[in-house]
Structure 1
């Protein structure tokens, strides 16, 4: 029996970006491009017509943004791989079945990693509820250690980016530094309780004690700033869990 071919849709109003993605995908077995679309206003019709399995989606497009498309197809449970020139949309996009976030220009490694995550979501091998288990464990390459360090993501309080290094703060007070910018760390530690609330900060909402307009206070007393561009999406998420509405 031949291996299933997963059908891919590409939506991006830049011709060169679509061509780069199509070329990279062509080298990865198991996938075929069902459509490559430059007009976002035709997106919903094409998604319904071609019955795609996975969607590559730009965010900033003329007239009809990628986040609006992602929101409208959320109930279809199509895994989305965002390919954007901007890092700032990461926190918002991960609400809408986004499994991977690529900063343009896309590389073959990132496209392959994104497709692997999307495939695992389709096949049901990475249910989000498993990430809440205390035995959810990852091994990370950290600065100053020749091997890989084991980390339980649930024990992360927050992550701060300094230059291009992510500083991972744990419940224990330990700090691990990994040589990656924050958006790449978000992809490595893609957990539903980790939220980007500032250009330089990712916070574990399970560790938040108090929230104010421009900062949150964690259980350990640390104060984490909330950036203006992240306020709306973060407070929309928190509103779901507010007893007073």
Structure 2
């Protein structure tokens, strides 16, 4: 346990010992101040770790020949998969459904926050999504990217690093952390994350992005949202959840 952990009134009668988990302290015996410190520290580390991993992914999957060959192999394998090609050919509405789901997700994120009258947090969640999309756009425009062969058309198609669709979907999923009530948060955010994963998988299956583009989008969103949570915790706007 950290030195700033203290039992609060009405907490567990058992003294906290070395080896106790941080969540036990948060539920049973940690003061609000130390909980905020812990959240700020961990989210700040998560932000820095996501930035570091994004750099590694960019260097390994975009700048190196091995990473580019892996991306080419993924695209070639997707085109060679007759089952995926059949599904995409017989269900052209999947593209429109994906776009519609992204619009519905944006509306849901704003609606939940406004209905609960969490105006500041709703603005913060929307700002995180916009910031993640802006970072994605800057990387797509200015980061050097390889071009891979489009075997179907014989042309060269630029790689979209990172994936904007995946960035938006995951931004919505993690933005719900700020606006959904505590007791429903795990279920709602978990379901939204599965949906965002499906969106990313569709962009790969449709040949719009490489796997590295989707991975990079997830790391961009994680970095932005973790940084935002660190700022919120620094301002003292977080507290331990109820028992």
TM-score normalised by length of structure 1: 0.23
TM-score normalised by length of structure 2: 0.23
Normalized per residue, which structure has more helix?
Answer: 2
Higher relative contact order (CA 8 A, sep 6+): 2
Normalized per residue, which structure has more strand?
Answer: 1
